[in-house]
Amino acid sequence: MHVIHSFNNACVDEHVVGEVGFLITNKKGNYLSLGRKNFTHMQGLFFFDNKKWELYKTIENIEIDRALTGIRNNLFNVKRIYKGGVEESFSLFNNSMIYSVKNYAGELLLELDFRAMFDYDDQGRIYTVTQEDEDFIIIRYDKFTDNSLCVLDKTCFLVIKGAKDFRLIDRWVKKNYSYDAERNTRSEFYVYQALSIRVDKDLNLVFSFSDNKEEAMSSARMIYDNRQYLFNSIKNYVAHAFTSRDPALNTAMKALDDLLISAEVGSRTVGVIAGLPWFCQFWARDELISLKALMLQGKYYLVKSILFKYLKSISDDGLIPTRLPGSQSDVKSVDAVGWLFLRVKDYIKLLVSKKIINDYLSVSDFVIIKRALEKTILGLSHYHSSDGLIINDEQETWMDTLKAERAGACIEVQALFLSMINLHNLIASITKSKPLFRSLENEVRQRVRKVFFTQNRLYDCVPITTSGSIPSPSHSPIRPNVFLAYYIYPELLTRKEWRRVFDDALKELWLGWGGLSTLSHKSSLFRCEHSGEDNASYHNGDSWYYINNYAALAMHRLDKKYYADKIKRIVGASKEEMFFSGFVGCCAELSSAKHMQSRGCLSQAWSAASLIELLYELGSSS
């Protein structure tokens, strides 16, 4: 298949072997993902249910009787291209999809699969297709609790405007999804081939979804009548929002922008969801890591609103909620609050460098930041520390699987705590207030050096004994979190020491295709192939694109000439994955260690955000 990315007179294209798809979104949380055929049941047209905070699938696919030859990503829309000059175009607006097909004579086959994303029940599903007002096709879906059809669970409507007539098909077919099978999750589903629509040459359609038929019809009519204006509006937005000469930077910025949504979490909230298809919440760690990329794009008011949302949510033990909306079963996130204050520091430094800090931060804002920071430092020190170090249980860092075995004191968590103390001292110097923690920063730094750094090695995690003391970390495995530690708090070691640490880590983590494994190749727990949903490889081998990008950024800051080859390979692999693998134009969560792939969540916010940071660092912003 020929994959083309075309925008601002720049074009990147390649012939791709294997299945790929595209993904487009809107600011309502809805998304569309299609390809040659769907390789996961999480492709199709999904609408976001703001009340239940779940994604609801409607359309499985639209098929035409031609051989698909390519996908063209224009940033403002996506096209599927077929033999004979046939092409389809897709755009999303509110709870509607605008669809057009050109240069085609034949039938469109509409396949449906109405269900919540994680609803695997195939019983009691009834579709009813009718036509009203000449060019409205009404699809009613009723979901009953079982095949008895006695208890109605849900009714909703998909309205199609623009088709003069259709042919009812009314057939159920089984689909097998290769990506789901590889992930060892459910991979067989039945979908409903509802109808076909005749096309003579060109056809424009609007698909609108609602629980209310009249509302769906009204929305479809409005979108259809104004479709050219709406299309031009998104085209103009993209033209003004993504102005780099580097197509990779534009594509990464659009990938992150696609995950920026407006939703209700108690009140109207704008934020970055962690990823699609399945991370459709505001995960604190992911969102905060992603904020630096938004700062670099000048989105200062947006960044401030997200930062202060979390500043106001700090609990007495110094932590913030793991995600919004959350649940009582959520595992704590010890490092998320550290990322909050790292991004506050980045925000302050960036505004100071541009001499605009007074335009965005008032005296009262600094008071809020300072009080929240003091509450966090004291809370962590009281509730989450041992022998002078910040500690965590299993699953409380970004390596949040039990199989990662990281209970204890972790190096990136110590770096984040040191950065918090450093931020307090920075604020004291800016506001000319009393530096409460001036000596504490040096004391903690020396403690971390003593425990974690020896013989050119910076240890990843130090376990805590039953007595609460810190034992020797001699058996701590090599992991890439040392690159995060440098990114967060480079003052921990000297430049010479950091280079020895990086070289030591790269010997056991480097992957020839341009990435880092999450665990030393020498470890008995190392897995070279992604193991899917069972998490065995997740933090014990899989290569995470956000870690790769931050490692390249760290190496560039430390010694760009010495590490030039590895930086180049990481950048090349991240670009290749974004452009031509998985969901083209999106940045996947991770890859197998053995070879570069798109695995995990196929559009991940911090993967795109860290690539944006890296490309800015390398000078691609102009």
Structure tokens at 17: 């072997």
Q: Which residues contact 576 (CB under 8 A, 6 or more apart)?
A: 596
Q: Residues 360-369: what's their mean pLDDT?
A: 96
pLDDT one-digit tens code per residue, 431-482:
888 777 888 999 999 999 999 999 889 999 999 876 666 666 667 899 999 9
DSSP 392: B
Same domain, 302 and 380: yes
Cα(573)–Cα(591) distance, integer angstroms? 11
Q: CB under 8 Å to 135, separation ≥6 — which residues?
A: 161, 162, 163, 164
Say which CATH number the domain at 227 has: 2.70.98
| Confidence band of 621 (pLDDT split at 50, 70, 90) | low
The secondary structure of 229-259 as a DSSP string is: HHHHHHHHHHHHH---S-HHHHHHHHHHHTT
**Does one domain contain both 188 and 269?**
no
Give yes or no: residues 189 and 266 share one domain.
Answer: no
251 and 143 part of one domain: no
pLDDT tens digits, one per residue of 188-240: 999 999 999 999 999 999 999 999 999 999 999 999 999 999 999 999 999 99
Dihedral of CA atoms 226, 231, 235, 236 in degrees, nearest 10, equals 0
Quote the pLDDT of residue 471.
Answer: 61
Q: Is 622 within the bounds of a domain?
A: no
pLDDT at 456: 86
Distance CA 305, CA 313 (A): 13
* pLDDT (0 to 100) of residue 9: 85
Categorize the per-residue pLDDT at 134 as very low, low, confident or very high, splitting at 50, 70 and 90: confident
Of 218, 238, 258, which marks where a domain is finished?
Answer: 238
Per the structure, the count of domains in the chain is: 2
The stretch 417-427 carries a mean pLDDT of 96
pLDDT of 527-564, one tens digit each? 999 999 888 999 999 999 999 999 999 999 999 999 99
Residue 440 included in any domain: yes
Instruction: Give the C-alpha separation, 594 to 528, whole Å.
Output: 5
Are 468 and 433 contained in the same domain? yes
The Cα 267–Cα 390 span in angstroms is 33
Same domain, 356 and 465: yes
Query: Residue 104 belongs to what domain range?
Result: 2-238
Which residues in 65-162 belong to E strands, given as ranges?
A: 68-73, 78-82, 87-93, 96-102, 106-116, 125-132, 136-144, 152-161
Secondary structure of residue 202 in the 3-state scheme: coil
pLDDT band at 494 (very low <50, low <70, confident <90, very high): very high
Tell me, yes or no, whether 186 and 314 share the same domain: no
Over residues 256-281, the pLDDT tens digits come to 999 999 987 667 789 999 999 999 99
Q: Sign (positive/negative) of CA torsion 286, 292, 293, 295? A: positive
Q: What pLDDT, on a 0 to 100 scale, did the predictor assign at position 480?
A: 98
Percent of the chain, pLDDT > 70? Answer: 98
Domain assignment of residue 222, yes or no: yes
Residue 70 in this model has a pLDDT that exceeds 80: yes
The domain spanning residue 508 has which CATH number? 1.50.10.10
Residue 329 confidence (pLDDT): 78
**Dihedral sign, Cα of residue 43, residue 49, residue 50, residue 55:** negative
As given in the structure block, the two tokens for residue 101 are 């097909």
- Residue 559 in any domain: the answer is yes
Q: Phi first, then psi: what are they for 454, rounded to 5°?
A: -160, 140
pLDDT higher than 60, residue 622: no
Q: Are residues 312 and 218 in the same domain?
A: no
234 shares its domain with 253 = no
Q: What is the pLDDT of residues 388-411, one digit of tens each?
A: 999 999 999 999 998 899 999 999
Residue where one domain finishes, among candidates 182, 216, 238:
238
User: Are residues 386 and 392 in contact, defined by beta-carbon separation less than 8 angstroms?
Assistant: no
Averaged pLDDT of the chain: 94
299 plus 173 within the same structural domain: no
- pLDDT tens readout for residues 76-113: 999 999 999 999 999 999 999 999 999 999 999 999 99
Same domain flag for 469 and 602:
yes
587-591 long-range contacts (CB < 8 A, ≥24 apart) are 587/252, 587/255, 587/545, 587/611, 588/545, 589/275, 589/544, 589/545, 590/530, 590/538, 590/542, 590/543, 590/544, 590/545, 591/515, 591/530, 591/542, 591/543, 591/545
Q: What is the pTM of this model?
A: 0.96
274 in any annotated domain = yes
Q: 188 and 267: one domain? A: no
Residue 19 has pLDDT above 60, yes or no: yes
Asked whether residue 575 is domain-assigned, the answer is yes
Among 191, 215, 238, the domain-final residue is 238
